[in-house]
Amino acid sequence: MANLASTLNEEQLQILKDAALDFALSHGLVVRPPPPAHTNHTDSYDAATLQGGVINAPVALFPTPFPVKAFNNAVKIQPLYNQLVHDISQDDAFLKEIMESLSTVDDFVKRLYDLYLEVKKEGIAQSASLGVHRSDYIIHLNSGQDFSEAEIKQVELNTISVSFGSLSSLTGDLHRYLQATTGYFSDKIDSSALPSSDSIESIASGLASAHKHYGSKTAKVMMVVQPGERNAFDQRWIEYNLLKKHRVVLIRKTLAEIADHGRLDPKTKALYIGDQEVSVAYYRSAYATTDYPTEKEWEGRRLAERSLAIKCPTVAYQLVGTKKVQQVLAAPGQLERFVKDPETVAQLRASFTGLYPLDSSPEGLAAYEAALMNSDELVMKPQREGGGNNIYGKDIQESLRTLTAEQRNAYILMDIIRPPITKNVLLRKGQLQRADVVSELGVYGIYLHDGYKVIRNDNGGHLLRTKGVESNEGGVAAGFAVIDSVLLV
């Protein structure tokens, strides 16, 4: 399979391309195009398409080989990560240790932590919490190690606005369709090695469970979205499945609209948008500073966080997703604060890669000095989501020299994971590109807790993102990668 993408001729690739584009447009595997001002003049779309139409979501034309042992392990440990997020979110002292220091150098984290403290002081109106998480991994292959024995290493754990649950399922459907109808002009792909992902349904199912727990049949789930969302179709599938399979209506509101039209019932703190009661506030925004251009957006977030609506996620869950928490958990003895079973600790630690602080601790100072000497095998990560924020290679040294000791605390260092390189053909905006690629696996988790006990703790499907080897970043929405699916080997 690794060589199949390079062996097919142009006529065969054109047949696959045409079939893939028709499938994508027929099944909602699409995104809105960027605004004309951000569109390269060489793109092949006319003005009408750019202003109001859709384009195919960026996808890989072929599924990418992935070791079955590593895939099954990632799926197996996702419920462990779901539980870990919740347990950390309940530990005020642990969060205080990390967030108070981060708050001095990161204004965004400070606003989130201040909101967390305000709601705790006022009294939490809703004890239940819903998590829709995604743990992202790259497979690591040691020198001389067989591909089938490669191990997963965690890149990050996302706790807010995890995307592409719907489009990843559809991309798997696309690859199974192409295999069934063309065989990929080869006998190298077995359909049984193309696992389906139920993430297109699991996220809606999780929201439905939270809505049911809320207890009002007339209330609605609210998806908190960004203005002018290009990835709306990934989100719409959640809305459609929520209605079709669970008979629950979803409304879409921005943070500013919540501030303008929202209110809390003075007795129950139920959240109303106009006359519509909200059962679940599900965030597909609110993860970056750009989502809060004015104080109005913070007012909207504050109103929702103080309300009776079940949050997905709570601000506590969001704080647990910061890179600093990931780095601290990798330190000796820290994971054991939350996980008592030695076997579970071993399973989680096996997925960790090298993580180092950049604070004023002896470990942080040692990591700083080491990075100034050699940063080729490191990545420097801030407390940001959304792609495009990491620093690599020699740029790390330049950045470290410009930061004060206090400012360095806003970052962590991570060992670069070197995955195996394969070949694929990428389909972007209707055009094909042959490329040497690497891939990143994301596993979704659905977790619902009522404040006293776990109601749901499930695996929620998977996502594969594939990018050219020349790209350091991996975000599809940020324009670095394409959506893919796994071919288990």
CATH number reported for the structural domain that contains residue 409 in this entry: 3.30.1490.50
Which residue of the set 134, 153, 253, 324 is catalytic? 134
Catalytic, out of 300, 465, 474, 485: 465
Are 93 and 197 members of one domain? yes
pLDDT of amino acid 2: 47
Annotated active-site residue in 28, 354, 386, 430: 386
Alpha-carbon dihedral sign for residues 364, 367, 373, 376 = negative
pLDDT along the chain (489 residues), means of 10: 75 96 97 71 42 85 96 98 98 96 93 98 97 96 84 95 98 97 88 95 98 97 96 97 98 98 98 98 97 98 98 98 92 94 96 88 90 89 71 90 88 86 94 94 98 97 93 54 96
Q: Is 163 designated active site?
A: yes
Binding-site annotation, residues for Mg(2+): 156, 158, 385
Please tell me whether residues 370 and 471 are part of one structural domain. no
Same structural domain, 272 and 321:
yes
Question: DSSP label at 90?
Answer: T
Tally of domains within the chain: 2
Same-domain check for residues 276 and 135: yes
Same domain? For 439 and 405 the reply is no
Which two three-digit tokens encode residue 430?
Answer: 């209707």
Residue 381: active-site member: yes
If asked whether residues 239 and 263 sit together in one domain, one would say: yes
Catalytic residue among 82, 135, 156, 297: 156
Residues 398 and 278 in one domain: no
Same structural domain for residues 273 and 408?
no
Q: Could you tell me the maximum CA-CA distance found in the chain, to the nearest angstrom?
A: 68
- Residue positions in the annotated binding site for ATP? 156, 323, 381-390, 392, 414-417, 440, 467, 473
Does 465 participate in catalysis according to the annotation? Answer: yes
Task: Assess contact for 425 and 451: CB atoms under 8 A.
Answer: no
Can 118 be counted among the known catalytic residues? no
Question: Is 186 in the same domain as 50?
Answer: yes
- Cβ contact 312:271 at 8 Å: no
Same domain (yes/no): 226, 124: yes
Final residue of a domain: which of 362, 389, 416?
A: 416
DSSP per residue, 123-186: --S---EEEEEEEEEEEE--TT--GGG-EEEEEEEE-S----HHHHHHHHHHHHHHHHHHGGGS
The residue out of 416, 438, 457 marking a domain boundary is 416
Active site residue 461: no
Q: Which of 158, 199, 202, 279 is catalytic?
A: 158
* Annotation marks residue 386 as catalytic: yes
For the question of residue 457 being annotated catalytic, the response is no
Pairing of strands 422-428, 59-60: antiparallel
Select which of 197, 201, 385, 461 is catalytic: 385
DSSP β-bridge partners for residue 132: 446
270 lies in the same domain as 190: yes
Which domain range does residue 367 map to? 354-416
139 and 32 housed in the same domain: yes
Predicted confidence at residue 472, as pLDDT, reads: 58
